Structure 1
Amino acid sequence: MSEAPVIQLEGLTKAYNVGTPVETEVLHGLDLSLAQGEFAALIGPSGSGKSTLLNIIGLLERPTGGRLSIAGRDTASLSEAEITALRGRSIGFVFQFHHLLPAFSALENVTLPAIIARGVSDDEAEATALQLLDAVGLKAHAHKKPGELSGGQQQRVAIARALALKPRLILADEPTGNLDTHTADDIFALLRAFNRDTRCACLIVTHDPRLAARCDRVVQLVDGRIAEDRGA
């Protein structure tokens, strides 16, 4: 029996201001699946619906219609508590702006998902966080706060944090958008390495055609519809 896709969208739609004169549909009947181990780029012009789609896949917004399954679970009937639990267990997020907590050290920021998931921090969570910081080349900086780190180092901490609970899916929204070319290449290489080593699925929103070309698959969104799906 084949494993269920990590992401499965069927006829997915999203509208805002539903039932009002200014109702606007921004996603129009999307069909998309992403399997374990796939590394895909999501591209498209501004206003094409990329961020909305990423928020829906990341369980931060609910679709208006259609079906969304994450790791084999149909999300339509899940309560908000179940959605939160599924998001925390299955999805890691990396954003253009890292959203690290400035008062916490790098180690504490990476340990935070385990604190939230388990209610307490323990030796295992800290050991995992140290391993991840080592993997991104920052073990020696574990006790520094974000303000003491460069932009690229902060993004490395954010990647380590996203991987802390070994998610099946990494969603990255312009993770290299505010970095220089060399640092962006390093961050991209890290995501590829974790994708290869852990077989997590990765969906990366990027405006950088160089990075998109290095993905196994490129999904192009135009006006809320999938215009092209290369490598699927």
Structure 2
Amino acid sequence: MSGAIVSLRGLRKSYGVGTPVETEVLHGLDFELAEGEFCALIGPSGSGKSTLLNLIGLLERPTAGELAIAGSETRGLSEQALTVLRGRHIGFVFQFHHLLPAFSALENVMMPSIIERGIATAQAEAVAFDLLHRVGLKGHEHKKANQMSGGQQQRVAIARALSLSPRLILADEPTGNLDTHTADDIFALLREFNRERGSACLIVTHDPRLAARCDRRIELVDGRIARGD
């Protein structure tokens, strides 16, 4: 591993800023994730894990502090520049999938490539087929997302996040809707991308089995880092 793909300094996030109900949910976090690192983000519900993931994924802006992705400081960047930075470096597995319901599994996995290049290429289609097979969805490539079970949709979302071989994979409970066997397969696939392609992974999980198999565990409690071994 060399350098940091993610660097936080004094990161804070508040909601309802300037109103009587203003609430700070992240309280000055300092944290680095190295290139190629495989890290679990753990902690009780309501501790701020999903909020932190959304900030690192450039889906929300911090209230204060510094956030750098792949060496680029994000404070002051336009929404368009953040979108370009996100598309270039980050694959995100959301807790609630966010698939395009009227599109097929194959089309959903190809979507990041289509957005980046403006067209659907034969190479992107081949990559999408391969990833769908590897997440256990061979034979389901042309099924519409809204015709798939929650577990199948989760696997499509994971394949989509891996489709551009991102330098950083963010996963919010990626195995939450899966049985133990499938969860282990998905974890192994993330590990494979981590080891073979050097993708750093930050995974929110409540599964102590999976957390124990990560290189490092960051524990978030009440919006503060309680442990970072």
TM-score for both structures, normalised by structure 2: 0.92
CA shift, 1:148, in A, is 5.2
SS in 2 for 1:130: helix
Q: Tell me, yes or no, if the aligned pair for 1:43 and 1:220 is still in contact at 8 Å.
A: yes
The 10-residue stretch of structure 1 (212-221 or 2-11) with the greater mean CA deviation from structure 2: 2-11
Aligned residues: 229
- Name the aligned partner's letter for residue 26 of structure 1: V
| Aligned equivalent of 1:7 | 6
Runs of 4+ deviating beyond 6 Å: none
Deviation at 1:137, TM superposition (A): 4.0
Question: Where does residue 144 of structure 2 map in the other structure?
Answer: 145
Q: Cα RMSD over matched residues? A: 1.8
**Distance across 1 between alignment mates of 2:39 and 2:95:** 17
What SS does the corresponding residue of 2:4 show, helix, strand or coil? coil
In structure 1, what is the Cα distance between the partners aligned to 2:46 and 2:194? Answer: 28
Task: Output the amino acid matched with 1:89.
Answer: R
User: What is the distance in 1 between the residues matched to 2:7 and 2:131?
Assistant: 29
Give the Cα–Cα distance (whole angstroms) in 1 for the partners of residues 126 and 208 of structure 2. Answer: 37
- Name the amino acid aligned to 2:226: A
Report which stretch shifted further, 67-76 or 9-18.
Answer: 9-18
Equivalent residue, structure 1, for 2:213 = 214
Q: Percent identity?
A: 73
Residue aligning to 1:162: 161
**Contact 2:29-2:224 within 8 A present in 1 as well:** yes
Question: Cα distance, 1:85 vs. partner?
Answer: 0.8
CA contact (8 A) 2:173 2:204 kept: yes
Q: Which amino acid in 1 is paired with 2:159?
A: A
Are 1:66 and 2:65 matched, yes or no?
A: yes
Mapped to 2, the partners of 1:20 and 1:102 lie a distance apart of: 37
1:199 aligns to 2:201 (yes or no): no
Structure 1: state its 5+ residue gaps: none
Q: Does 1:118 align with 2:117?
A: yes
User: In 1, distance between residues paired with 2:113 and 2:178?
Assistant: 28
**Larger displacement relative to structure 2 (144-153 or 107-116):** 144-153
Matched residue type, 1:228: R
